[in-house]
Amino acid sequence: MLIIAKNYTVGILQRLQNIFTTTPKKGDKRSINYSFGFGNKISVSPSSALTFSAVWAAMRLLSESVSSLPIKVCKKENNGDIVEIDNDISYLLKYAPNTYQNKVTFLEKIMMDLLCNGNSYVRIVRNNSGKPIELLPLNYAGVQVYLKENKLFYTSDEVGGTFTSEEILHFKLITDVNATKGVTHTEGGIVGLSPIEQNANAISWGQSVEEYGATFFSNGAKLSGILKTSRSLSETAIDRLRSSFNNNYAKLSGANQTAVLEEGLEYQPISISSEQAQFLQSRNFSITEIARIFNIPPHMLKDLSKSSFNNIEMQSQEFVTYTLMPYLTKIEMELNMKLFRRNQIGKEYIKFNTNALLRGNIKDRTDFYKAGITNGFMTINEVRRKEDLNRVEGGDKNFIPLNLTDIENI
């Protein structure tokens, strides 16, 4: 009996578990080749990782979340009040850091560099008086960092020359104590670690799942069948039969048509095996892995399998606190250290406004504000400030319930 069919019987999980090579790609230290039993190797690099939908969704979510937040320059008054100020620095950060980017695209560039490479470099251009007048992102690949006499220096192939740490905004993720870039110095981590490099295995797994799915479902999400015959056929006859059947009946254009087979041929469709049906389960697992790598609640990557109405709000709040805040803090610290003069640090500072994301629902906010005002630890104007409302006359008074008394008087 002759079977004319492509073999799809190897299960997705079995293929994914057959990891047998891990070899660096020559000429690219940030690219690693992995083989998952598909007969070809999956190359992992920051650029290739972006073609994996879950990685792209995670990076887009983080980049857009940070870039969309309001950013302000604040000043601490002598009486302790915090006021927002408008100056040259606030204009750079709130509107136009340079002549070709606005605030949103500037922060998206920083975040994408951080998420892909673990580092982002921005050149500070100052006027004759030393005030920042332009912030210019540098190409990550062209920047070299080295430590000399306990001072950091940067070279850039893009603009040429050597820059001190005061001239470069260097945003970086978690560092390795032995991490260096372009030098032999190993005392302390001076560059950040790339999430793509550190998690190349998991990303390759996900890419392999997507590649398998693209191949598996390429024919209208339906496997081909087999043509059976008891006669012996030549290779020429086999090729002719396969080509004729596929052209006439196996494509979407041949749907709902009646197949006419030659004498002695029998068509038998192939149903999806239980192993092949595990494709979706494997794909969900890869999404969970990417969510874990970037510390993102799975429901934000459209995986709702373990989410409910009750826990989504809590997970969203945790996303701000435990995922976004570390990025925001790193960016704030670097901006505050490099953009202000030393005598200004602490008196003036840059801060992202996350109040809108952390407010919670209206009922919870109302109950909290009510308790704050009636128990005297918040004023009306403090509440209004948190809600981005203007001050009102007499709103700075503290109130306490009349029935409160000193316990010693009881």
Among candidate residues 307, 395, 382, 387, the one with its CA nearest the CA of residue 353: 387
Residue 15 has pLDDT above 70, yes or no: no
Which of 139-143, 257-261, 319-323, 333-337 is predicted with the least confidence, judged by mean pLDDT? 257-261
* pLDDT score of 35: 41
Tell me the pLDDT tens digit for each residue of 207-236: 777 777 666 666 554 545 666 777 777 788
Mean pLDDT of 257-280: 59
Where do runs of H (alpha helix) occur along 100-189? Answer: 103-117
Mean pLDDT, residues 259-285: 62
The token pair at 95 is: 């509107």
The residues, any chain, with a CB within 8 Å of residue 63's CB and separated by 6 or more, are 107, 108, 111, 112, 115
> In the prediction, which pLDDT does 357 show?
74
Give just the sign of the alpha carbon dihedral 204, 210, 214, 217. positive
Mean confidence (pLDDT) of the chain: 77
Q: Which residue has the higher pLDDT, 237 or 9?
A: 237
| Per-residue confidence (pLDDT) for residue 37, from 0 to 100 | 41
Residue with the two structure tokens 């993720």: 173
Question: Is-contact 136 123, C-beta < 8 A?
Answer: yes
70 has pLDDT over 60: yes
Report whether 98 contacts 109 (CB < 8 A): no
Residues in CB range of 143: below 8 A, 6 or more apart: 119, 121, 154, 155, 156, 157, 158
pLDDT one-digit tens code per residue, 305-334: 666 666 677 777 888 889 999 999 999 999
Q: Quick one: pLDDT at residue 111?
A: 97
- Which pLDDT value is given to residue 276? 58
Give pLDDT tens digits for 348-396: 999 998 876 776 666 777 888 888 888 888 998 888 877 767 788 888 8
Closest CA to 126 of 155, 95, 152, 88: 88
Whether pLDDT at 238 is above 60: yes
Alpha carbon separation from 92 to 27, 105, 133, 349 (Å, rounded): 38, 13, 7, 14
pLDDT at residue number 27: 40
- Asked whether the predicted pLDDT for residue 127 surpasses 70, the reply is yes
Q: What 3-state class would DSSP assign to 291? A: helix
Tens-place pLDDT, residues 44-59? 888 888 888 889 999 9
Comparing CA positions, the residue from 111, 68, 61 lying closest to residue 356 is 68
Report how far residue 351's alpha carbon sits from residue 331's, in angstroms, rounded to the nearest whole number.
Answer: 9
Would the pLDDT of 242 be above 80? Answer: no
When pLDDT is averaged across residues 289-318 and rounded to a whole number, the result is: 79
Q: Residue 253 has what pLDDT?
A: 47
What's the pLDDT at 274?
Answer: 52
Whether 241 has a pLDDT exceeding 60, the answer reads yes
Q: How large is the average pLDDT for residues 328-348?
A: 90
Does the structure show a pLDDT above 70 at 38?
A: no
Span 71-96, mean pLDDT?
A: 88
Cβ neighbors of 51 (< 8 A, separation 6 or more) are 207
In order of start, what are the domains of the chain with their CATH numbers? 58-197 (3.40.140), 363-410 (no CATH)
Banded pLDDT at 30 (limits 50, 70, 90)? very low
pLDDT at 44 (0 to 100) = 81
Specify the pLDDT at position 249: 59
Alpha-carbon Rg for the chain, nearest whole angstrom, is 30
Distance of CA 339 to the CA centre of its chain: 27
Average pLDDT over residues 290-303: 87
| pLDDT surpassing 80 at residue 114 | yes
**Torsion angles phi and psi, residue 190, rounded to 5:** -105, -10
pLDDT at 154: 95
